Structure 1
Amino acid sequence: MSGRDFQGKQMFMKLTLSLLAIIISCTSIVYRASAADIQVINFGFEQGLTGWTPFKDKDNGNDQDEKGSVIEVSGNKASEGSHSVRIHDAKKSRAFGLESSKLNAEAGTSYVAFADVLVESGKAELFFRFYGGNGQLLGESSTQAGASMAWKTIQVGMTAPAGTTHATVYLYSSKSNEGTSYWDHIRFTKDFTNLGVQVGSASPLGATFGIGANQNQIYSVITGNANDRPIMQVIDADTEKVTNVATLPSASVNPTGAWAATTASDGTIYLGTYPNGRLYKYTAGDSAITDLGAPLPGESYVFDLAAGTDGKVYGGSYGKAGFFEYDPVNGATQIGSMPFYNPAYKYLRALAHDNGRNVSYLAMGNNASIVRYDHNTGKTDDILPAKYKSITLAGTVDYTGDRVFVAIGGYLMALRVDVAPDGTVTSTEEMSTTSAAPRVSPAHNGSVYMTVSSNLTRYDIATKQLTDLDLAIPGRIQRYGWVTLKDQANYPGETLVGLTDGNYETNIIKYNPQNGMFRVSRVEGSPRIAGAINSIGAGPDGNIYTSAYLYGGLGKYHPFGGDADDSQPEFIYAPISQVDKIESENGKLYLGAYPGGLLYEYDPELPWSMGVNPKLLINTSVFQQDRPKALAYGDNRVFMGTAGTTGARPGALSVYDYTTGTAAVHKDIVTDQSIIALAYHNGLLYGGSTIRGGYSSTPSQTEAKLFVYDPIEQTKTNEYSLPEITGGRKLTAITELKTIDGKIWGFAEGYLFIFNPDTRTFDYFAEKFPDVKLPEGNYRDADLVTVEKDPNSVYGTIGNKYLFKIQKSDMSVQIIRSDGADMLAADDAGNLYFKHNDTQLWRYSF
């Protein structure tokens, strides 16, 4: 492929286990998957009666007359697809039925069968039957439905008796019945089903280029999760294929990912990881990666690395904003104090090194600084222009072409740094542009290259001019390098090569400045790792949607549709950044996305086209908001609660009004607190807060608040403290609110409360989970769900540990699972979906 080989920045991917087709210019990626769902053969009767056995018995007088009774497939009615089966029973003394093929079942396991039924007259019965190895019937259970002119879902459940090997679903009209029923969408499931991975990626994060004999090699890391350690891939820039992979070694705390990667002057590859804050090295050609330990004990992130002279590398960390040097001879040495430069800082987020002057440039924060550190004198100077000081943190720093390039707050700038004879350091902003991706290329013939508005752009250092090359870049460039490719006919001299993360794949770009040759292609052989589920929500289309930490994407699971219990997802919509909250209302799916505190509206009935569907309703980044943690809907308005940007305490309540088509953002609606729970009732919005502000901010408040917001007046009308706790302890986070039976139910740490909107008092307040305590606040913790089939109970998860049920009658709690359950959503049949084991979506059917 040549020219713009990568088309379609909005992409729908269908994934299965073995790769069948990868075509970069197309909009889908296809894999095959084995089914975790136990599917009934021909469950929707789209293949006639295949897989089903009709049954008709004689009446008591052995009369063969059926009086027109019939079992037939109908194309007139269907709850799903285009067909159903019609059982017309016209004779009271005869029974008619239809039994499914046998399904594998295990003794002692609880099972549930569901069926959609429309009963025109009489009644219809749904049976569960369990069989032994010799075909003997061991037990059965049934339920029935009366006449109704609309489709409804009925279910029957039972624990398989001893000796069970198989089960069937039986659709039945008894001897005492006369009537007509239509049946469709027959489902069968265990009580607990692991539906496997929903979102995954082969996107690179930390990346670096080889040097010398390995100058055509690219080293990048695919992010892992709680179960899967990250994998480093080695990519040949000539062949665009992965030539080697190595999993990062285990440790007392395993690595999850690596933001930091650099190539030392001796050719050694170094990686810095999180959440274990360790340094790793790799030598070209080796089969394994070496763990060098924690360069700064106690730090959780090594956020960036930069190469110095004599094989040295420099690194920065998160936690206490540490700065270190790693010397291959002497090991790791801390530079200065921790935190470095400013005692209030927690981040040393990015850095670059000027080898000629032995100077490092450090992106630090909570409030942004770009610190010039002279290794010869130990002198520090903040060179960030004053107009950027209100921004909390820079994202990247590159030093090339005798300029410092800084990405911060949506800007990418070039700084010239001058040192006067008396040592005074000044910086001059020579270029600044918006809509630019953070990374820039090494300087080449007086220019550097970057991505502006998703196009490759050249910046001339001498003239300070930007030139749009009109070449589309998929995703974000993780690293640029200059490579002498073997194909000198098409790519003479040195070619700009970049590694991107477009559409959850590792992609490579090539641009030759001599002849303008441009190519984008997917790297073959990149490992794919499951994404840690970050949010779960039920869609208006009956599907269950998920998104992944860091990767983003929107996974879709169609209930009982055969999704795989494996390491790969089946459906992903992309691109979309990390979704922190998913809710549906009014036929739309609402997505709260990070970073920038974005609210999208997605219509599942229309094609996915990023920016169009889903469309952006609210962008709160200009209000220093970052993480959407709560969504609610009411009276033609969508509400979103957010946490602030890194270092900023105030959160916000945002409102999109469909009547006017306008958005309002109420920042700091609860003083110095984030808004993480919302519920709408009877014209008013109820919100819950946490004392935790943006990342790395220090709380100024001591207790969470319940507040009331009037959408008509557009103002907060009341704010309440939670009831007092013996001993005076204050609860720091209201992590869930739910309108149930006209009252506001909520969780604050391990305490369940019920707020009465009529009396403005708390009707109930009691500790249910003593082991759930959040002393510094939290962004999310508990979820509550109600289902129509069990109106007397409320279901929930809490503490990333418990799946539970609350009986409304006495408020007692029944623990359903205590081995890890987080987030909660319900499908149309009342089945519950939760995260287990970090990457897996599980279903609970009852």
Structure 2
Amino acid sequence: MAAILLGMTTLAGPGQQEAVALGPIEDLGTPVTDYSVLDVEVGTDSLGNPRLYGSTYAIGASPGVVFFGVDPATGTVTTQKSMAGSYGGYHVARRASDGSIFLPTISSDSIGRLWRYDPAADAVSVAAYQQEPAYSFFFGITATSWNSMYVGGYPSGHLNEFTTAGNLVDKGLVSSGSTYPKGIAEVSSSPKTVLVGGGSPAKVTVVNLDTGTRAEVLPSAYAGYSFAYNAYRAGSDILVQLVTPDTKILRYTVGGSTVTFAGELPGLTNAWTLPITGSQVYGQGSCGGSTGLIRYDLVTQTCTFQVAGGQWLGSRMHYVTIGGQQWIASVGAKGMFGRWNPVTGQVVTNQLSLPGHPTAITALAQGPDGKLYGGTYETNALFRYDTTTTVLGKVPGGGGEILSMASANGKLFIGAYTGAAMNVYDPALPWNPGSSAGSNPRFTGAIGSQQGRPWDMTVGSDGRIWTATGAEYGQLSGAITATNTTSPFASQSWRGVFGDHNIFSIASGGGKVFVGTTKHGDGVNATGYEQFGVWDIATQTLQFSAAIDFVSDYFYALCYASNGILYGSTDSGQLFRYDPATNTILSSVSFSYGPVLGMINGPDGKVYGHTGSTIFSIDPVTNTTTVLATTPTSYYRTLAFDANGYLYWANGPRLMRMDVL
């Protein structure tokens, strides 16, 4: 391997010429409109009737997410209020003194907002705004017995107190190196003490609010986890959920203002808050080979399976009394209300009718059937366009967004966040998502070690799918992974090829795989200049690496052109050409139209690309650039052709196309 640092001033880059007359730009609409529900809280309405309160979760602040209330007796929505300008949110909490419901949200102006719903007035409004410019949004929240609300801010990592007088007071940094204060639970009222779980990497910190002292209480054995994602009080215990590389529930016992680690709760996995009766808690998990709602005894440390998992099992469950009987009620991630009677075993469900939110397109690719396929943000939804849009559904692997796709051997390979999940879809077979051999799409598992985001994907000259990934939250060192295109779709992965950098872009040709890195990660950054590298498929070695652009943070896109020349782009606006035959950077220039977000090969042998405001083509023979359209585009590498020669791109949640051939 040759490690070379190259300057930015080299030979002349692509020339530019005026736009050509093409077919009109078509706006094909918004393929996916959706929402999620991440948390609900139990409360009452103005008449004292029980209600479950929460908000929809979506990315994008227009028109804003919706606060809602559900009558657990009927399973219907009784309250629906707009939270204009906000998106998120992650958590909701109730203040006991007046029954107010508080929700922290994200906003497009990067100013965190704490919203309050007043049941007596049936009105929702902003109770407080962030106090420091370093915050971009409010994350976790909890209510305390002294009626103060505590909310965490990202990326500052500070804890805030919302007092009964209506003031927001900055309580300072929770823990050094922790920027996500998400799981917050009360420890004691005298002295006033809370436990804060965050990341990344995972931290569990006990904060004495009277003295300002901090104590780290996460055992060193769990230092490799990305998040202490959630923390809730259950009687005299605090239960903390750790996530990535797997999920564990840790138990801490409370004695005064002191918490003591008491081990894991085996079987529980996705339990955030657990209704408790004596020493028994309820949560999601596995017990006796069955998965769903289980009951766990904190004294005997044994579990009992209760009811099979369903779409109504959400992040939190609450006790509600209906007709003199006690039920456990919840709202699932896709808005399914449900309640279960522990005595009779009866389950009552109802799908809530709540407004959806336009979902940004994060990946586009031509499928093996020649049709256009796309993936979306936060919903992991796959759609297809063929004269009309068909939303196929949520791919089973990952919990966030589809980030990359490629077609090979009659199948569409789909990379999804979280956990660098690989899915394989055969358009010729019925939609049947799962992880078994007969599933379609089939979740074949996570690729790489401790990888989170499958940023880019290509088909190698060896016929395998090659994926560029970034490491999980709090971890460094991305990976390149090759996946077989026949069942069982085994993968081979190389992590740390570029030291502690993540791999952000990838292309292939001539027996090589070309990769571009970024030093940016989730909650942690690497060191040194971004690298461009050449990986030899036959010898499985890195043959060449270079820092081409000394001011860039990302190698946005790579494309191996029809004449064997590689085109690449960086976020600083550099567009470079590399000749693999001579191992030479031919040119590196500042592209006139801004940073190139994505590039693909067209059916006519040209390279097609997009910046944030243009669609263009490059003739690799003459190295001349033609602007095809001046139009907004969005997200990395969201450009694709279908078999009919239409060129598609994304403008936020909207799908656009043009006939360019």
TM band (smaller chain): 0.7 to 0.9
Cα shift at 1:315: 0.7
> 1 CA distance for matches of 2:497 and 2:655?
35
> 2 CA distance for matches of 1:424 and 1:572?
47
Q: CA RMSD in A?
A: 2.5
Cα shift at 1:353: 1.9
Paired letter, 2:330: G
Percent pairwise identity: 22
> 2 CA distance for matches of 1:636 and 1:845?
30
> Which residue, 625, 628, 636 being the options, matches 1:812?
625
Q: Gaps (5+ residues) in structure 1? A: 1-156, 160-189, 564-568, 773-780
Alpha-carbon contact 2:241-2:247 (below 8 Å) kept: yes
> 1 CA distance for matches of 2:411 and 2:639?
19
Cα shift at 1:329: 1.1
Structure 1 residues 600, 191: closer, same or farther in 2, change over 3 A?
same
Paired letter, 1:767: S
Other-structure match for 1:148? none
Superposed, 1:24-423 pairs within 5 Å as 191-211=24-44, 213-249=48-84, 254-265=85-96, 266-275=98-107, 276-284=111-119, 286=121, 288-298=123-133, 299-335=135-171, 337=172, 339-342=173-176, 344-354=177-187, 358-409=192-243, 410-419=246-255
> 2 CA distance for matches of 1:374 and 1:432?
30
Task: Determine helix, strand or coil for the equivalent of 2:428.
Answer: coil
> Which residue, 534, 537, 541 being the options, matches 1:708?
534
Alpha-carbon contact 1:198-1:571 (below 8 Å) kept: no
Structure 1 residues 340, 644: closer, same or farther in 2, change over 3 A?
same
Cα shift at 1:361: 1.3
Cα shift at 1:224: 4.6
2:631 maps to 1:826: no
> 2 CA distance for matches of 1:395 and 1:573?
23
> Which residue, 339, 346, 352 being the options, matches 1:517?
346
Q: Which has the higher contact order (CA 8 A, sep 6+)?
A: 2
Alpha-carbon contact 1:555-1:573 (below 8 Å) kept: no
Paired letter, 2:567: W
Structure 1 residues 543, 686: closer, same or farther in 2, change over 3 A?
same
> Which residue, 576, 579, 601 being the options, matches 1:753?
576
Cα shift at 1:596: 0.5
Alpha-carbon contact 1:751-1:769 (below 8 Å) kept: no
Task: Determine helix, strand or coil for the equivalent of 2:277.
Answer: coil
Structure 1 residues 820, 782: closer, same or farther in 2, change over 3 A?
closer
Structure 1 residues 651, 438: closer, same or farther in 2, change over 3 A?
farther
Cα shift at 1:831: 1.0
> 1 CA distance for matches of 2:64 and 2:396?
24
2:458 maps to 1:632: yes
Cα shift at 1:671: 1.4
Paired letter, 1:637: R
Structure 1 residues 352, 419: closer, same or farther in 2, change over 3 A?
closer
2:363 maps to 1:551: no
Superposed, 1:729-748 pairs within 5 Å as 729-741=550-562, 742-748=564-570
Cα shift at 1:589: 0.7
Other-structure match for 1:460? 297
Bigger shift: residues 316-325 or 292-301: 292-301
Structure 1 residues 230, 733: closer, same or farther in 2, change over 3 A?
same
Alpha-carbon contact 2:237-2:254 (below 8 Å) kept: no
Task: Determine helix, strand or coil for the equivalent of 1:432.
Answer: coil
Structure 1 residues 786, 272: closer, same or farther in 2, change over 3 A?
same
Bigger shift: residues 404-413 or 609-618: 609-618
Bigger shift: residues 706-715 or 380-389: 706-715
Cα shift at 1:417: 2.6
Alpha-carbon contact 2:362-2:375 (below 8 Å) kept: yes
Superposed, 1:493-512 pairs within 5 Å as 493-501=325-333, 505-512=334-341
Other-structure match for 2:477? 650
Paired letter, 1:302: F
Superposed, 1:565-580 pairs within 5 Å as 570-575=391-396, 577=399, 578-580=401-403
Other-structure match for 2:431? 608
Q: Normalization by structure 2: what TM-score?
A: 0.87
Q: Gaps (5+ residues) in structure 2? A: 1-19
> 1 CA distance for matches of 2:44 and 2:279?
21
Q: Normalization by structure 1: what TM-score?
A: 0.69
Alpha-carbon contact 1:458-1:468 (below 8 Å) kept: yes
Alpha-carbon contact 2:35-2:56 (below 8 Å) kept: no
Paired letter, 2:456: A
Alpha-carbon contact 2:183-2:197 (below 8 Å) kept: yes
Cα shift at 1:269: 0.9
Alpha-carbon contact 1:209-1:219 (below 8 Å) kept: no
Superposed, 1:650-729 pairs within 5 Å as 650-657=477-484, 662-692=490-520, 694-701=521-528, 703-722=529-548, 729=550
Task: Determine helix, strand or coil for the equivalent of 2:276.
Answer: coil
Task: Determine helix, strand or coil for the equivalent of 1:387.
Answer: helix
Task: Determine helix, strand or coil for the equivalent of 1:732.
Answer: coil
Cα shift at 1:572: 3.3
Paired letter, 2:293: L
Superposed, 1:829-840 pairs within 5 Å as 829-836=644-651, 838-840=652-654
Alpha-carbon contact 2:479-2:494 (below 8 Å) kept: yes
Paired letter, 1:417: T
Alpha-carbon contact 1:274-1:302 (below 8 Å) kept: yes
Other-structure match for 2:601? 786
Deviations along 1:306-325, one digit per CA (max 9) or x if unpaired, are 01134321111111101011
Cα shift at 1:281: 0.7
Task: Determine helix, strand or coil for the equivalent of 1:759.
Answer: coil
Cα shift at 1:367: 2.1
2:357 maps to 1:529: yes
Paired letter, 1:572: G
Alpha-carbon contact 2:359-2:376 (below 8 Å) kept: yes
Cα shift at 1:377: 4.1
> 2 CA distance for matches of 1:439 and 1:768?
48
> 1 CA distance for matches of 2:404 and 2:540?
23
